[in-house]
């Protein structure tokens, strides 16, 4: 494995170690269809890595869950506006 590539990936993902969602119930961030996203979004509001999380989700086309305080539908809208 290319150690430079591994280091870059680890650096890119370092924000996840500081994410508040890693310290809470993961099911809140992946609710059942029609389930509430309120709890997850409340956690995201005070998370220091919210921006990095959202950037990651947008860059990697995450289709499920709450990332950076936004649902998949909300992230789609953000992507459309950016085009």
Taking the model in full, what pTM does it have? 0.80
Domain limits at 65?
3-82
Backbone angles phi, psi at 35, to 5 degrees: -75, 165
Is 47 annotated in a binding site? The answer is: yes
Tokens 């890595």 sit at which residue?
Answer: 49
Reported as a single tens digit per residue, the pLDDT across 44-78 is 999 999 999 999 999 999 999 999 999 999 999 99
**For the chain, what is the domain count?**
1
Flag whether 53 is marked binding. Answer: yes
> pLDDT (tens digit, 9 = 90+) per residue, 2-61?
445 444 454 567 899 999 999 998 899 999 988 999 999 999 999 999 999 999 999 999
The answer to whether 46 is a known ligand-binding residue is: no
The answer to whether the annotation marks 21 as part of a ligand binding site is: yes
Of 26, 18, 27, the residue nearest 46 (C-alpha): 18
Tokens 């924000």 — which residue?
15
């Amino acid at each position: 494995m290319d150690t430079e590539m591994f280091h870059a990936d680890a650096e890119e993902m370092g924000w996840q170690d500081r994410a508040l969602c890693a310290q809470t119930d993961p099911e809140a961030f992946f609710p059942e269809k029609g389930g509430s996203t309120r709890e997850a979004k409340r956690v995201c509001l005070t998370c220091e890595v919210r921006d990095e999380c959202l950037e990651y989700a947008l860059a990697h086309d995450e289709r499920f869950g709450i990332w950076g305080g936004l649902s998949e539908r909300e992230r789609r809208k953000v992507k459309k506006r950016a085009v």
